[in-house]
A and B are shown apart, each in its own frame.
Chain A
Amino acid sequence: MKILVQEFDFDPGAEIAALHAGQPKVGAVASFVGLVRDINEGDAVSTLTLEHYPAMTEKSLRGIVDEAMGRWSLLDVTVIHRVGLLNPLDRIVFVGVASGHRGDAFAACEFIMDFLKTRAPFWKKEGTPQGERWVEARATDDEAAERWQQSSKKDPA
């Protein structure tokens, strides 16, 4: 398991390769990359500042990954989340999951992102032509995380 919270960028290709290098039991790696868009709620976005709660962030991410490892058969997981000042086109977050088969890798990758978005202590502030504003949490993110609570272990639907 690799959990990183950092200001600098990451290389998704290198992270994916590292999840299966020398690991012949890995049959599937699923990954997700989150990016800064240049528009939100209809307004142009020029900067995105990520604040976090340093003492809690890594602990929270580790707890989410532990829960995923309990639900699915996973061989390795990497989560990288950037903090600080970002711009459109920048990468924000990487989640990579290695497993024997694709089903577990796909499901666990989506689960980790859904829980990260609703439980990990990060906050986004975006710069727009009207000034800076804090991004509001979305009900759809809560709903996405909620369906994992209701569903059985292997079925996200």
Chain B
Amino acid sequence: MKVKVLYFARLREKFGVESEVLDLPGEHAYAAAIVDMLRKRGDPWAKELGLDAGYRMAVNQTLAGLVTPVQDGDEVAIFPPVTGG
């Protein structure tokens, strides 16, 4: 299945990419599978998406967690804690 992944703010700059399409095995997965796939690239991905890194995720424009289900065609965003207002 294909999932569009977007990056924002500090993470977009660290990764040097705004968005990409990831191809995951199977038809369903948890958001954690995307993070696992990205961490395997090594740094800066492994560091910024580490267990204590404090990043946030959204699936289809709604705040999500590692156990949020993801399916083909979904839009997943990965970003630092928000700082608006």
Question: Residues on A close to B: CB < 8 A?
Answer: 34, 50-53, 55-56, 59-60, 81, 92-93, 113, 116-125, 134-137
Smallest CB separation, A149 vs chain B (Å): 14
Interface pair B9/A117, CB less than 8 Å apart: no
With contact pairs A53-B6, A55-B61, A56-B58 given, residues A122 and B84 touching in the complex (Cβ less than 8 Å): yes
Closest 8 CB pairs of A and B: A122-B84, A137-B81, A123-B9, A56-B61, A117-B85, A134-B10, A135-B83, A124-B83
Cβ contacts A to B, 11 pairs, < 8 Å? A52-B84, A56-B62, A60-B63, A113-B85, A116-B85, A120-B84, A121-B8, A121-B82, A123-B83, A134-B10, A134-B83
Interface pair B85/A53, CB less than 8 Å apart: no
Contacts of B79 in A (CB 8 A): 53, 121, 123
Taking A56-B77, A59-B61, A121-B8 as known contacts, 14 extra A-B pairs with beta carbons closer than 8 A to each other, sorted by chain A number, are A51-B9, A53-B77, A92-B84, A93-B84, A113-B85, A117-B83, A119-B82, A120-B82, A120-B84, A121-B58, A123-B79, A123-B84, A134-B9, A134-B83
Interface pair B83/A122, CB less than 8 Å apart: yes
Question: In the bound complex, how far is the Cα of B9 from the Cα of A108, in angstroms?
Answer: 29
Contacts of A118 in B (CB 8 A): 81-82
Q: What is the chain A residue whose CB lies nearest that of B56?
A: A121
Interface size class of B (residues with CB under 8 A): 10 to 19
Contacts of B83 in A (CB 8 A): 117, 122-124, 134-137
Q: Which of B48-66 contact A (CB under 8 A)?
A: 58, 61-63
Question: In the bound complex, how far is the Cα of B82 from the Cα of A137, in angstroms?
Answer: 6
Interface pair A51/B8, CB less than 8 Å apart: yes
Interface pair A125/B80, CB less than 8 Å apart: no
Give which listed residue, A55, A117, A134, contacts B84 with CB less than 8 A.
A117
Contacts of B6 in A (CB 8 A): 53
Q: Which of B1-40 contact A (CB under 8 A)?
A: 6, 8-10
Interface pair B8/A55, CB less than 8 Å apart: no
